Structure 1
Amino acid sequence: MKISFLRTGTLVKRYKRFLADITFATGETVTAHCANTGAMRGLNQPGATVWLSYHNNPKRKLAWSWELIELPTATGGVAMASINTARANALVREALEAGVISELAGGSHIRPEVKVGDARLDFELQVDHCHCFVEVKQVTLLEENGIGYFPDAVSVRGLKHLNTLATLARHGKRAVLLFCVAHTGINEVRPAAHIDPAYAKGLKDAIQSGVEVLAYRCRIDAREKQAEIALASALKVVVE
């Protein structure tokens, strides 16, 4: 996935969930759209360098959108993270079509936003002539030693999706939870039991029911005026 018309700035603050003030090197401050409804724990770092995309659309209230943030790592390096959760499904679809996700390679007839009971899952596809249901969750919370956690706040909706996947698995369907790790500093994914113990328990129960849990990290290459993001490599999921 390529994102064009990028410009860097310094994050001043994120507020009212969907708004963020960013100051450019020229001294100009703009208000950008923040396409992330979550707590953004670990990402809301005033003073950090951020990347914005520009949209010349008269129907938009805000021309700028906050896309990426640069964050320091424990080893003294810099990691990149995507804050735009609206891009996660498109990234996964690209990876499915390109065969990047080896566990789902060869999948066809990809159908997004599939209603199952009273829930809606992100994808349904055919793999080896079998129906497979996939729910995508973006992971960006890095706490220590390269360990990423999900969720970053209590997620009733996330637990509902887990229960839906578990029900499918118990009825003989292939059900997959896919963590789209959009933080280059994360090397391993774990459920955030210290934040949402109900979700952590629900994940264990879902696995026992037959739900497969995968994690793939994004490669993020940000350059002047353009960035490229793609799912690149599998990561270990640790459920204690």
Structure 2
Amino acid sequence: MAVILLEKTGLVAGTLVQRYKRFLADVQLADGSVVTAHCTNTGSMRTCWEAGDRVLLERAANPDRKLEFTWLAVARGDGWLGVETGMPNRVVAEAARRDALPGLAGLRDVRTEVKYGSERSRIDVLASDADGRSVFIEVKNTTLKEGSWGLFPDAVTERGTKHLRELQAMVREGHRAAIALFVHRGDVDRFDAAREIDPLYAAELDRAAEAGVLVLPLAVRLVTSPENGDLWRLGWELTGLLPWVRRG
């Protein structure tokens, strides 16, 4: 049974007016005022929002920050979609610590943001398995939707392709490696690479799987509930793995 791995409380609800300049989103609050929130997702965010959508904002802990709010989630269809790009790494690391990461059981000694590889990268999550082998886990926030598919990436990503090469190098050295596609929305039921958007990434993902890199399309559920007054609570669950179904 899935459990909430991480949770945010004291969130402010509003209605999205617009997202612009990659980093900014205007949101109308319940009292009619409009605030500008920070958007951490700098990608295209295609299929992720429309004006009039319900959103949840987190108030900044630092009162001196230029933008008071950060945009965390948006209601899409019958569920919610995660916007804050730092959460996937945190949720996957917490799942690994609890031995609750779908597709990778028995992890321990979990660390994050560890330097590795010949291309000067940092691995999102580094752990050990029951046999003492290192397990390198790269996490990718996955929000693009087409039909019933969750797709990654939503734009050409040379950096993402480089990460796949490095994971393959770790496997050749005798370690274990995984790419965790954090499907940050609940309205899809399968995963594939966005082959039309970035065919090089898609081909590298296929090669990585053949080389022994685990491909883990994580099914994510965002759980919301009201708190006292007008505030909200938001939690993240991992409910299993989506099937990897190649399109076309």
Partners of 1:182 and 1:207 lie apart in 2 by 22
Partners of 2:107 and 2:100 lie apart in 1 by 11
- 1:125–1:104 Cα change, 3 Å: same
Partners of 2:245 and 2:98 lie apart in 1 by 26
Partner residue, 1:95: 95
Summarize deviations over 1:133-172 as a string: whole Å, max 9, x none: 110011111110x211000111111111011111112222
Count of aligned residue pairs for this structure pair: 234
Partners of 2:109 and 2:19 lie apart in 1 by 39
Partner residue, 2:43: 38
Summarize deviations over 1:94-124 as a string: whole Å, max 9, x none: 1112222243222111111122222221111
Partner residue, 1:75: none
Partner residue, 1:136: 139
Tell me if structure 1 keeps the 8 A contact 2:49–2:74. no
Tell me if structure 2 keeps the 8 A contact 1:18–1:35. yes
Q: Secondary structure at the match of 2:41?
A: coil
Report 1:9-24 matches (<5 A). 9-24=14-29
Partners of 1:178 and 1:15 lie apart in 2 by 28
Partners of 2:239 and 2:165 lie apart in 1 by 28
Q: Secondary structure at the match of 2:86?
A: helix
Shift, 1:56, TM fit: 4.2
Tell me if structure 2 keeps the 8 A contact 1:100–1:232. no
Q: Secondary structure at the match of 1:58?
A: coil
Picking from 3, 11, 18, the partner of 1:6 is 11
Picking from 151, 156, 159, the partner of 1:157 is 159
Shift, 1:187, TM fit: 1.2
**Same amino acid, percent of matched pairs:** 38
Q: TM-score, normalised by structure 1?
A: 0.92
Partners of 2:60 and 2:81 lie apart in 1 by 21
Partner residue, 1:234: 241
Tell me if structure 1 keeps the 8 A contact 2:102–2:238. no
Partner residue, 1:199: 201
Partner residue, 2:110: 110
Partner residue, 1:222: 224
Shift, 1:232, TM fit: 2.2
- The one of the two structures with greater contact order (alpha-carbon pairs below 8 A, sep at least 6) is 2
Gaps of 5+ in 2: 1-5, 227-231
Partners of 1:201 and 1:130 lie apart in 2 by 27
Picking from 203, 208, 211, the partner of 1:209 is 211
Matched letter for residue 141 of structure 1:
L
Partner residue, 1:49: 54
Partner residue, 2:179: 177
Partner residue, 1:66: 71
Q: Secondary structure at the match of 1:5?
A: strand
Tell me if structure 1 keeps the 8 A contact 2:102–2:218. no
